[in-house]
Chain A
Amino acid sequence: MAENTIETSAEKPYQEALRAYEARLAAIGSEEMVINMGPQHPSTHGVLRLQLITDGEIVKEVIPHLGYLHRCFEKHAESMNYGKTIPFTDRMDYLASMNNSHAFVMGVERMLGIDGQIPKRIEYIRVLVCELNRIASHLIAIGTYGIDIGAFTPFMWCFRDREHIMNMLEWASGSRMLYNYIWVGGLFYDLPVGFEERCAEFITYFKPKLIELDELLTTNQIFISRTANIGILPSDVAINYGCSGPMLRASGIKWDLRRVDGYSVYPEIEFEIPVGKGEAGTTGDCWDRYKVRVDEIRESVKIIEQCLERLSGPLKRTPEFDPRALVPKKVNLKPQDYYVRAENPKGELGFYFVTQEKTDIPKRVKARGPSFNNLSVLPELAKGVLIADLIAILGSIDIVLGEVDR
């Protein structure tokens, strides 16, 4: 077996790191143990496999293995035109499909030069559905985090309320999770008649539920004991590892691309950017990351209220309004490259486009997933923690493997 390994390393170049990894596992001491966690385990939030090198109950090293959900997004995107790629972006972060397609579409519109011409009603509908989706995504993050820690009730409550959002988005787009609703230059359809009213009803229903949820988990002593002062991520480490979104804000950095770039109609909307303050422990711990998400739900509710106010007031539906009026028949782009970024529920989602002449098929599309970068800090965070705390840390990162692996 050992001879065989040496032979292959002599045959193939560029395998040094693989051999070093194999040697590391072969050379574990008698005090150490390698534990395999995942890929089929609920606490890994999908098909993530972690190899833990442990000393008793202490995690000495974590080696993540990705790729179980790799669906070749970038290869697919190189073989079809921009419009056809939108459903594939939905499947990246499948808990926040609207936000994914919004980022992708913004990039293409900017390259086409039509980003300033999109009617306000369309922009407000986009922001509305994106924020609804952000709430749904954060509800899952909070609910499943409760389950990781051992609290079952928040999970049921979160899924109950998320279901209302899913139903509404299904009503608008025809699909429950993977919408293909936001198109280059417009929308698949206008909102169905009565959507604004039903959405306002949902907000009225949801606000007290959010307070209930807050009381159930945020100040729960068991929850605080499991999360406060656990997995502390200092802000400089967070930036150096490319963490973004709630992960970075929990470490105390006020960095939200909705404000920094001011894309779409976000400059016209009032909302706060919650940051971690270390109320239960230290700034940047698991509790802060949880709290930032709860606060962001509250801000999203504010944004939705402002959108509804405008969509049922000055930007009211008219019979002649066509959300597909600006949708191009063919996306003709001159050769150029562009990196677009947007604030997803999980963090900075970026698309890097390289276009080519005389075709509407891109030469290269690279997706920068927030979960991919947020997860890369796990080996650093998990050094020297207890195995039980590793679950708490992983849950607080809030990864979606569909986007880590793409």
Chain B
Amino acid sequence: MENSEAGSLSNMESFGKIRTLLINRFGESVIVAEAQDGLQPALFITPEQLTEVCRFLRDHEATYFDFLSCISAVDDGIVAGTFTVVYHLASIPYKQQLTLKVRIANDRHPDHLPALPSVSSVWRTADWHEREAFDLMGIFFENHPDLRRILLPDDWEGYPLRKDYQEAETYHGIAIK
């Protein structure tokens, strides 16, 4: 049993190791940026190699990130013009946590959703989490087995968690404001 202080320290150490592992396997270009100043350090991964990186982290004997806690889609704001998708991984054998982030630029046109490769082939948890990100934030996940809306009705217009979302006046002819 370890307290949270010791846990975060070993997290920092393992963070450096994971970084080295990824660079050795995929090359320098796989990590776009790092965020080390926060409470939980994070790695920014290139979208193209996301699925491979995730599968590597899940299967490598030094990491075993077998549990995907959460996928969160974040709208960085209208000025920034980007979306960030955050993956919180946990390793049950090593009791470690890791945060991966992917940032994608997008022009917010309804016909060009920001697109990312799906990780649902790595963790089945991602299936519903990615559907939720698609439903509420409008992130498109390539090679997802069933990317329908999950919480809102199938015929809903727009993506409500976006910062520029405008509520519709009516839904099926019923005033909803």
- Are the C-beta atoms of A13 and B153 separated by less than 8 Å? no
The 8 A CB mask of A345-365 against B (1 = contact, 0 = none) is 000101010100000000110
Please report which residues of chain B, range 71-85, place their CB below 8 angstroms from some CB of chain A when the two chains form the complex.
72-75, 77
Docked CA distance A255–B136 (Å)? 31
With A337-B40, A364-B75 already in contact, the answer to whether A242 and B152 are too (CB < 8 A) is: no
Stretch at the interface among B13-21, B45-53, B143-151, B168-176: B143-151
- Taking CB as reference atom, which chain A residue is nearest B74? A364
The 8 A CB mask of A1-41 against B (1 = contact, 0 = none) is 00000000000011011101100000000000000000000
With A70-B151, A70-B152 already in contact, the answer to whether A259 and B1 are too (CB < 8 A) is: yes
Judged by a CB distance under 8 angstroms, whether A193 is at the interface is no
- Are the C-beta atoms of A267 and B125 separated by less than 8 Å? no
With A352-B72, A364-B75 already in contact, the answer to whether A111 and B39 are too (CB < 8 A) is: yes
Partner of B99 from the list A66, A240, A339 (CB cut-off 8 Å) is A339
Q: How far is the CB of A235 from chain B (nearest CB, A)?
A: 9
A339 contacts across to B, CB distance below 8 A: 40, 69-70, 86, 88, 97, 99
Docked CA distance A405–B132 (Å)? 10
- Are the C-beta atoms of B70 and A263 separated by less than 8 Å? no
Q: How far is the CB of B135 from chain A (nearest CB, A)?
A: 9
A377 contacts across to B, CB distance below 8 A: 124
Please report which residues of chain B, range 1-40, place their CB below 8 angstroms from some CB of chain A when the two chains form the complex.
1-4, 7, 38-40
- Taking CB as reference atom, which chain B residue is nearest A375? B128
Judged by a CB distance under 8 angstroms, whether A183 is at the interface is no
Judged by a CB distance under 8 angstroms, whether A261 is at the interface is yes
Docked CA distance A348–B38 (Å)? 22
Judged by a CB distance under 8 angstroms, whether B61 is at the interface is no
Docked CA distance A350–B140 (Å)? 23
With A17-B146, A352-B86, A373-B125 already in contact, the answer to whether A242 and B39 are too (CB < 8 A) is: no
Interface size on A, residues (CB 8 A): 48
Of the four ranges (under 10, 10 to 19, 20 to 34, 35 or more), the interface on chain B belongs to: 35 or more
Judged by a CB distance under 8 angstroms, whether A156 is at the interface is no
Partner of B70 from the list A239, A253, A350, A363 (CB cut-off 8 Å) is A350
- Are the C-beta atoms of B88 and A240 separated by less than 8 Å? no
The 8 A CB mask of A250-274 against B (1 = contact, 0 = none) is 0001010001111100010000000
- Are the C-beta atoms of B66 and A18 separated by less than 8 Å? no
- Are the C-beta atoms of A376 and B136 separated by less than 8 Å? no
Q: How far is the CB of A242 from chain B (nearest CB, A)?
A: 3
Judged by a CB distance under 8 angstroms, whether A67 is at the interface is yes
Docked CA distance A74–B88 (Å)? 18
- Are the C-beta atoms of A364 and B69 separated by less than 8 Å? no
Partner of A240 from the list B125, B144, B154 (CB cut-off 8 Å) is B125
With A17-B146, A74-B136 already in contact, the answer to whether A341 and B69 are too (CB < 8 A) is: yes
Docked CA distance A20–B148 (Å)? 10
- Are the C-beta atoms of A241 and B160 separated by less than 8 Å? no
With A240-B66, A240-B123, A242-B69 already in contact, the answer to whether A350 and B88 are too (CB < 8 A) is: yes
Docked CA distance A259–B125 (Å)? 23
- Are the C-beta atoms of A354 and B74 separated by less than 8 Å? yes
Partner of B148 from the list A17, A239, A253, A341 (CB cut-off 8 Å) is A17
- Are the C-beta atoms of A75 and B152 separated by less than 8 Å? no
Judged by a CB distance under 8 angstroms, whether B68 is at the interface is yes
Query: Which A residues lie at the B interface, using CB under 8 A?
Result: 13-14, 16-18, 20-21, 66-67, 70, 72, 74-75, 78, 110-111, 239-242, 253, 255, 259-263, 267, 336-339, 341, 348, 350, 352, 354, 363-364, 366, 368, 372-373, 376-377, 380, 405-406
Report the 10 A-B pairs with minimum CB-CB distance, sorted nearest first: A242-B125, A366-B72, A368-B70, A67-B151, A17-B147, A352-B72, A376-B128, A70-B151, A17-B148, A241-B124
